[in-house]
Amino acid sequence: MDTSEFTTISKLVRPENLNHHGTLFAGVASMWFVEGAFIEASRVYGDPSKIVCIKVHGMKFVRPGNNGDILQIESVLAHVGKTSLTIYTKIYKRLTKEMFVDGFVTFVTVDEKGRAMPHGIKYEKPSEGLGLKLWEEVERLRHSDSQTKM
């Protein structure tokens, strides 16, 4: 898989997307965030009917979105497990290139009964560049998650 190939979608922040502060409601932004990641996971796996979202990791808002902003959502494969695909997604303001939010979403491939199943995707850990950086961040998040389980 080529980690330089981002899936890209755009969204216009409209009045109905705003919260009581007059900025983009985090719930709407989160929906767009997961949607972008899902489209990338579907591109990678090829069958969206067998993909379910199981976790959003490290999603961090760094600035508000405002009415009229055009947001660019870019998603790329970051990590592959036996049954999982983790996608890195970033949202930024298209005209100014200011980062809005970024993080990761993990999806699992499932069978007809909704049970996790191996996806069969062959993907080696990248050896350099953005691909390696994203892979290592997912590994760090996974390790952190395993340390906090009760």
Q: What SS3 class is residue 76?
A: strand
Q: What SS3 class is residue 35?
A: helix
pLDDT, tens digit, 9 for 90 and up, residues 45-74: 999 999 999 999 989 999 999 999 999 999
Residue 40 φ then ψ, to 5°: -65, -45
The verdict on residue 17 lying in a domain is yes
User: Residue 147 — pLDDT band, cuts 50, 70, 90?
Assistant: low
User: For residue 64, which of 17, 32, 10, 23 has the smallest C-alpha distance?
Assistant: 23
The verdict on residue 1 lying in a domain is no
Poorest-pLDDT segment among 12-16, 65-69, 97-101, 123-127: 123-127
Q: What SS3 class is residue 45?
A: helix
Which residues lie closer than 8 Å to 116 by C-beta, 6 or more apart?
Answer: 83, 108, 109, 110
User: Residue 1 — pLDDT band, cuts 50, 70, 90?
Assistant: very low
The verdict on residue 138 lying in a domain is yes
Q: In what order do the strands lie in the sheet with 70-80?
A: 7-12, 70-80, 84-93, 99-109, 51-61
The verdict on residue 62 lying in a domain is yes
Domain that holds residue 41: 7-148
Q: Between these two residues, 28 and 141, which has the higher pLDDT value?
A: 28
pLDDT of residue 36: 98
pLDDT of residue 143: 82
pLDDT, tens digit, 9 for 90 and up, residues 28-42: 999 999 999 999 999
The verdict on residue 126 lying in a domain is yes
Q: How many domains does the chain have?
A: 1
User: For residue 76, which of 8, 18, 136, 148 has the smallest C-alpha distance?
Assistant: 8
